[in-house]
Amino acid sequence: MADAERTFVMVKPDGVQRGLIGEIVSRLEERGLKMVGGKFMQIDQDLAEEHYGEHEDKPFFDGLVDFITSGPVFAMVWEGQDATRQVRKMMGETDPAESAPGTIRGDYGLDLGRNVIHGSDHEDPGANEREIALFFDDDELLDYERVDEQWLYE
The phi and psi torsions of 55 (rounded to 5 degrees) equal -105, 10
Residue 1 has pLDDT above 90, yes or no: no
pTM score, two decimals? 0.94
The band of 58, judged by pLDDT with boundaries at 50, 70 and 90, is: very high
The phi and psi torsions of 118 (rounded to 5 degrees) equal -125, 140
How far apart are alpha carbons 96 and 140 in whole angstroms? Answer: 32
How far apart are alpha carbons 42 and 124 in whole angstroms? Answer: 26
Q: List the chain domain ranges.
A: 4-143
Give the active site residues: 118
> pLDDT digits over 84-136, tens only?
999 999 999 999 999 999 999 999 999 999 999 999 988 887 899 999 999 99
% helix, strand, coil for the chain, step of 5: 45, 20, 35
Q: Can you tell me whether residue 61 is helix, strand or coil?
A: helix
**Fold exhibited by the domain 4-143:** Alpha-Beta Plaits (3.30.70)
* Edge-first strand listing for the sheet containing 117-119: 34-41, 73-81, 4-11, 117-119
